[in-house]
Amino acid sequence: MKLNIDKNKVYQTIEGFGFFGARDCWWESDDPAHFYSDEWLKLILEDLGITMWRNEIYPNNPVDSNISVQPQSGNWYKQKDAVVALVKRAKELDIPLKIILSVWSPPGEWKVDCTDIWNDYENADLTRSKPYPFTKEGGTLSPKHYVDYGNWLVAALDMYRKAGVEVYALSLQNEAMFWEPYNSCAYTHDWYCELLKNVVPVIKKSYPDVKIFGSENMLSFEAALIHKNFRFHEAIVNDKKALENLDVFAIHGYNDGIKAEAVENHKKYWTLNTKRYFDTTGKPQWMTETSGFFEEWETEPEKPGAMDLAIAIQSSLIYGQLTAWVWWQGCEERPDYTQYFLVAKGKPGKRFYVSKQFYRYIRPDAKRVHIEAPPECKDLLCSAFIHDENKTTTIVLVNASDNEYKISLPTEGLPAMYECYRTSQNPEENCSHLGEVDAACVILPPQSITTLYHS
């Protein structure tokens, strides 16, 4: 069966793949050196191949609040050495690493009460008049402090710059619809538009090139248009000024902030998301947080596995035309593989290797081009990327069926041979290099992900 490739039909340009957090993502040690090591840097930069890294701006940075900041596990003192080491090593390796930052809560002294905004919107106090001097358990930013918040974010970007780190992109609020027991801050869609219109101009005055991404809301909420008071992207598209102040639409790949979106919804939701927001605005689309995929390979009810993660990433690239994909927690020092991180105590798991099939071989500035499988290749998801500067061709083939496929690829203007890498249920097959394969005959085992790479 022959796949069709049209390299003249170009879709999105990739900006990066990555994850959130340091070697131990919760910053709970008092020793800054605990959060990075040479082994960790080599693992994530040279092996996994991240090109985007997400971090939190804690509400006690860059200024110290007096009474409103509840105890924080992280601060710039702990973060700085790891951030600097990461960026330094990436530069040494000539890796175009992009640093992106999200806020979970502004300093508490600028917040007001609206703790029931999500659970009971109709009866919530939406007057934004009662002080709520806490960073945790919800609340919202007072409109009186929009400019203060903008200046605070500028100071945070200054904090990174003084350490020799240029921030690529910034989100004003993580998951703006949820009240949470940890650092959190809730907004209605109208308040979020206010936030963009009043805060972003303050930031852009000092940092005109930093990209503003948001709203980091759930994919299903925005694509399926549920929860009318929390359709942030719909509200942004309908507010010209708010839209002008957003550079990137960013989605989280959950259905509720915790559970991974069901695999059968990915094509439908990403297609709807693209139609509603990319096709109407032309603004890039990112996925900036997801987890909920377990270490087991095969799918179980309410328990998607590593193979499902491959389907999720591939679907987002094909149907969502994403230019960036960022997993939730990259690493933890816990010994077990929960559904939240890729590396446990320095040991990669299956989700690490599934991610590597994309991260390592699809580099920033690669352009996705058209590739199409014949109808008889049921459940074969294909993507292809051409990197003009690096002179590379990457083809990722996710065989989600229970059948083995033997496929061929066109060679006119394209490589005749590729290096082949595969991850499957086989415990020994973890982004394993299978040598060079002929484009005329590539075997795709059932329930596997194969990456073909030519440089």
Q: Is a pLDDT exceeding 70 seen at residue 91?
A: yes
282: left (phi over 0), alpha (psi -120 to 50) or beta: left
What are residue 111's phi and psi, to 5 degrees?
-100, 155
Question: How large is the angle between the packed helices 306-319 and 350-359, nearest 10 degrees?
Answer: 20
Q: Is a pLDDT exceeding 80 seen at residue 298?
A: no
Q: Kindly report, residue by residue over 107-143, the tens digit of the pLDDT.
A: 999 999 987 788 888 888 899 999 999 999 999 999 9
Residues paired with 252 in a beta bridge: 218, 289
Decide which of 3.40.50.10420, 3.40.640.10, 2.60.40.1180, 1.10.620.20 is the CATH code for 371-454. Answer: 2.60.40.1180
Q: Is 331 helix (H, G, I), strand (E, B) or coil?
A: strand
358-383 mean pLDDT: 96
Q: Among candidates 240, 253, 177, 249, which has minimal Cα distance to 212?
A: 249
Contact (CB, 8 A) for 380 and 401: yes
Outline where 274-421 has alpha helix (H): 279-281, 306-319, 350-359
Query: What percent of the chain clears pLDDT 90, i.e. is strictly above it?
Result: 82
The confidence band for 46, taking pLDDT boundaries of 50, 70 and 90, is very high
Give the per-residue pLDDT at 64: 60
351-370 mean pLDDT: 98
Does the bond joining 215 to the residue before it have cis omega, within 30 degrees of 0? yes
**In whole angstroms, how far apart are CA 369 and each of 4, 12, 70, 295?**
11, 8, 49, 31
Residues paired with 431 in a beta bridge: none
The confidence band for 247, taking pLDDT boundaries of 50, 70 and 90, is very high
What are residue 284's phi and psi, to 5 degrees?
-60, 155
Q: Is a pLDDT exceeding 70 seen at residue 63?
A: no
284-307 mean pLDDT: 89
Distance CA 275, CA 281 (A): 10
Give the lowest-confidence range in 86-95, 221-230, 383-392: 221-230
Q: Is a pLDDT exceeding 90 seen at residue 213?
A: yes
The fold of the 15-364 domain, in CATH, is TIM Barrel (3.20.20)
Give the per-residue pLDDT at 338: 82
Give the per-residue pLDDT at 216: 98
Q: Kindly report, residue by residue over 25-40, the tens digit of the pLDDT.
A: 888 898 999 999 999 9
Tokens of 269: 């939701």
What are residue 290's phi and psi, to 5 degrees?
-160, 160
Query: What percent of the chain clears pLDDT 70, i.e. is strictly above it?
Result: 98
Where along the chain do its domains lie? 15-364, 371-454
Query: For residue 260, which amino acid is it?
Result: A
Give the per-residue pLDDT at 66: 58
